[in-house]
């Protein structure tokens, strides 16, 4: 990774069991936390017989989960914790 000499952040890359690569960035000079997810596919990845599939899956990323069954609960948790 190419970084400017004055970049004091700490970077760590990990690989999850499901094959997803995660880049963790720690910046002790800030008091704000953030999370971001980049999915390297889009509408150009749709199979010919399933146009719109990428858009559908995008919406599935924001559905509930076992831990946060209501769609707003995870966002509420993040906001409550200054995210």
Domain count, the chain: 1
pLDDT digits (tens, 9 = 90+) for 31-54: 877 777 777 778 888 889 999 888
Q: Which residue has the tokens 């995870």?
A: 74
**Catalytic residue numbers, as ranges:** 58
The answer to whether residue 30 is domain-embedded is: no
Coil, helix or strand at residue 21? strand
Q: Which two tokens stand for residue 63?
A: 């559905």
Range of the structural domain that residue 82 is part of: 55-83
- The answer to whether position 76 is within a domain reads yes
Residue 13 has pLDDT above 80, yes or no: yes
44, part of any domain = no
Q: Flag whether 71 is in a domain.
A: yes
Average pLDDT over residues 44-73: 81
Residue 7 lies in a domain: no
Tens of pLDDT, residues 18-30: 888 888 999 989 8
- pLDDT, residue 60, reads 77
In a domain, 73, yes or no: yes
> Rounded to whole angstroms, how far apart are CA atoms 21 and 77?
24
Contacts of 65 (CB under 8 A, 6+ apart): 74
Per-residue pLDDT for 10 more than 80? yes
């Amino acid at each position: 990774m190419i970084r400017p000499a004055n970049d004091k952040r700490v970077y760590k890359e990990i690989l999850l069991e499901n094959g997803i690569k995660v880049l963790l960035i720690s910046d002790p000079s800030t008091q704000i936390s953030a999370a971001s997810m980049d999915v390297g596919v889009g509408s150009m990845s749709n199979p010919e017989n399933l146009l719109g599939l990428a858009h559908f899956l995008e919406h599935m990323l924001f559905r509930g989960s076992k831990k946060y069954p209501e769609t707003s609960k995870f966002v509420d948790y993040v906001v409550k914790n200054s995210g």
